[in-house]
Every structure is written in C-alpha cells, then in structure tokens.
C-alpha cells in the first residue's frame, strides 16, 4: 500500500548553493497526492511545484524544480532520495526559500527523521512505473540507460582524474532497505578548486567542509575523512535515486550510469516517457511492492553514521512488518573498487 508520514517533520539549515537559511516542513498527504513542494515565501501566484521529471530544470550541480510560473526549488535530490528510500509516496513539502537545506550533504538526516517519525499506511495500492523497453541517452563519454527489471537496480561508474576519487563502480539492488543501509549516508563531493570557481558564479555559497567531501588531489580535506572508501560513487547512486523518483512513483527498471549527472538522468526520464511503449504504470502486487526501495528496511544494518543520534527503539518500530515480508538475498551491494 501507499505510505505517508505519521506526522510533520521539520528541517532547518542553509542551502548549499544559495547559502541562505531555510526551514522545510514535510507534511503527511493523502493517497495519490504524490510529492509536491510549496514555497511559503511566495505571496502571490502559483507557489506549488510538482516533484516531477518535466518540472526539472537542467543544471549539472543540482536538481532544480520549477512550476509554469517560474517559481522554483533547488537541490531537491537528497530529500527525494530519502523519501523514496523510506517508501514514502505522498508528502507536501513546504519551504520558505528557494533551496532545500543541505544538512550534512547526504540523505541520512532526512532518512533519520522520516524513520523516527514513522509511516502511515494509506488505503490505496502502490502504482509503479515499469520500464518495458530499454532507453539510453548519451553526452560525450557520459551515458545513462534504463533496462526492464522486476525491481530498481542501479549500476554506476565514475572516473575522475583526482587520485582521491579515481575510478569507482558499484552495483546495487535497491530492495530490502538497501538505500538506507548502503547509500543514504554518502555525502556530496567536490574539488577545492571547483569551489573557488563556483563561488565566483554565486554558487556553493553554503558549502563547508562539514556538508561536502572536499578533495584536493589525493587528499580528503573534510574532517574525519570518508564514510565509505567509495563514498563518491555511492553518492552518485543516491542522486540517481532522487532524480529517478521524479518519474512520479517508484520505478521498476535497471539504471546503468557511466559518468552521468543530474541533467543526463533527467534526459533519460524524458526519453523514457517520450518513447512510445517504453514505460507503463502498473498496480503493484504485494510481492512487487516488497521489492521497492523502502520496503524491508532492516534497522540493525543501517550505517552507524546515519543513526548515531536516533533512538534505536523508535527505529525498530519503523514498519517492522516490512522486514518480515521481504525474502533476503537481494539488495546486497557489490562494490568493485
């Protein structure tokens, strides 16, 4: 069945690019509502922004959504990934500024808060978007492909000249709570030299060593180093889940990305929806729903970094039946670095 939150959840912090403080309140919503943003600082006109693929504006640094009146909200991908990774299908997200707070640069604070709040099951079945025909988009050396699959799988490869990152590949079946366990605590990353360039363009104004992994050649400048040896590719996969969630519901498909970014993943969704017969909406059977991201979240397997401030009892009360209905054996990561 579709889920929403049991109650409201509040996030406060600065935007990564704008540097502006904002307050974001995530409200429960009814079945079939989907995910919508609402800008509470917009007094006149249309302040509602749909979390949909055709509302995304092309930017390589983050995913920005805009409505037809041009009202936008930026850097939605980490919150969107957390909603999908916790199996939350319906929510209204009010925000009093143009950018989602960056928090620690990962999805972990969102996941932690959603899990602590708990979910409410709604009286409507989950409808998923099933990839029927493969679609591919390419730009230079970068490519992104979706193949048919019975769950959501993500394969991703990055290739950076910086020794601190280098070539990293990872393959993950998002079933069985894999997002929370394997991806949610991986932070966004950038070069120290890029920060200087971005700041001359008015970007990354809210970036710090605490909300991004900052590298310089073979050095990790952020205190505490990496949370995972291959944190960079894990974060790219986190971004992919957030960007694919703009399909408007859970996607059943196998995504293969090579050096892809937000723009290419969004172009892939355009290709999916504009290719006749490439995707269809289905009502999930209980077996299908049990393979979706968010189903089968196993509290004890979640990385400590993501849950250090969480009451473990509250975590264990999080939809415990989901952990039972899922057979184990999938959703395991296969890091190849």
Residues lying near Zn ion in the complex (CB under 5 A) are found at 188, 239
**DSSP-assigned states of every residue in 104-132:** TSSSHHHHHHHHHH-EEE-SS--EEEEE-
- Pairwise CA distance, residues 62 & 67, whole Å: 17
First to last CA, the chain: 37
- Pairwise CA distance, residues 141 & 43, whole Å: 44
Nearest to 95 by CA among 47, 32, 152: 47
Identify any residues that bridge with 170 across adjacent strands, giving them in sequence order.
Answer: 156
Q: Which is nearer to Zn ion, 90 or 188 (CB)?
A: 188
Smallest gap from Cβ 77 to Zn ion, in A, equals: 5
Q: Which is nearer to Zn ion, 187 or 322 (CB)?
A: 187
Q: Which is nearer to Zn ion, 215 or 295 (CB)?
A: 215
Q: Tokens for 65?
A: 């959504």
DSSP state, 4?
A: E
Q: Which is nearer to Zn ion, 155 or 239 (CB)?
A: 239
Q: Which is nearer to Zn ion, 176 or 230 (CB)?
A: 230
- Pairwise CA distance, residues 192 & 220, whole Å: 10
Asked whether the beta carbons of 115 and 86 are under 8 A apart, the reply is yes
Smallest gap from Cβ 235 to Zn ion, in A, equals: 6
Smallest gap from Cβ 6 to Zn ion, in A, equals: 27
Asked whether the beta carbons of 66 and 54 are under 8 A apart, the reply is no
**DSSP-assigned states of every residue in 147-171:** E--SSEEEEEEEE-SSTTT-EEEEE
Asked whether the beta carbons of 246 and 52 are under 8 A apart, the reply is yes
- Pairwise CA distance, residues 273 & 282, whole Å: 15
Q: What is the 3-state secondary structure (H, E, C) of 175-208?
A: CCCHHHHHHCCCCCEEEHHHHHHHHHCCCCCCCC
Q: What are the C-alpha distances in Å from 186 to residues 88, 90, 253?
A: 20, 25, 23
Residue 237 phi, psi (nearest 5): -70, -35
Smallest gap from Cβ 240 to Zn ion, in A, equals: 10
Does the active-site annotation cover 262?
Answer: yes
Smallest gap from Cβ 189 to Zn ion, in A, equals: 9
Q: 17, 78, 254, 262: which one is catalytic?
A: 262
Smallest gap from Cβ 172 to Zn ion, in A, equals: 16
Q: Which is nearer to Zn ion, 293 or 296 (CB)?
A: 293
Q: Which is nearer to Zn ion, 106 or 145 (CB)?
A: 106
Smallest gap from Cβ 62 to Zn ion, in A, equals: 7
Task: Give me the residue label for tokens 């230079």.
Answer: 140
Catalytic sites, residue numbers: 262
């Amino acid at each position: 069945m579709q889920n929403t939150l049991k109650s409201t959840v509040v996030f406060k912090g600065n935007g990564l690019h704008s540097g502006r403080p904002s307050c974001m309140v995530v409200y429960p919503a009814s079945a079939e509502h989907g995910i919508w943003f609402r800008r509470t600082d917009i007094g006149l006109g249309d302040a509602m922004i749909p979390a949909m693929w055709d509302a995304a504006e092309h930017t390589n640094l983050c995913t920005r959504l805009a409505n037809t009146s041009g009202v936008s909200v930026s850097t939605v991908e980490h919150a969107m990934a957390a909603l999908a990774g916790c199996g939350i299908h319906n929510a209204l997200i009010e925000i009093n500024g143009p950018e989602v707070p960056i928090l620690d640069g990962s999805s972990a604070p969102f996941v932690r808060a959603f899990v602590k709040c708990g979910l409410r099951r709604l009286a409507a079945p989950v409808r998923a978007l099933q990839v029927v025909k493969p679609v591919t988009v390419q730009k230079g050396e970068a490519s992104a492909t979706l193949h048919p699959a019975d769950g959501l799988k993500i394969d991703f490869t990055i290739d950076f000249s910086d020794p601190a990152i280098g070539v990293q590949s990872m393959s993950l079946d998002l079933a069985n709570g894999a997002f929370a366990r394997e991806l949610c605590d991986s932070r966004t990353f950038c070069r120290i030299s890029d920060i200087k360039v971005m700041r001359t363009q008015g970007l990354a104004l809210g970036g710090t060593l605490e909300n991004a992994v900052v590298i310089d050649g073979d050095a990790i400048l952020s205190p505490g180093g990496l949370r995972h040896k291959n944190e960079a590719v894990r974060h790219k996969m986190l971004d992919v889940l957030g960007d694919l969630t703009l399909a408007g519901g859970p996607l059943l498909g196998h995504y293969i990305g090579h050096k892809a970014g937000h723009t290419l993943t969004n172009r892939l969704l355009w290709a999916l929806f504009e290719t006749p017969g490439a995707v269809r909406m289905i009502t999930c059977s209980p077996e299908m729903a049990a393979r979706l991201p968010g189903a089968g979240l196993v509290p004890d397997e979640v990385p400590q970094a993501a849950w250090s401030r969480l009451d473990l009892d509250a975590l264990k009360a999080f939809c415990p039946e989901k952990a039972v209905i899922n057979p184990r054996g999938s959703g395991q990561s296969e890091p190849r670095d």
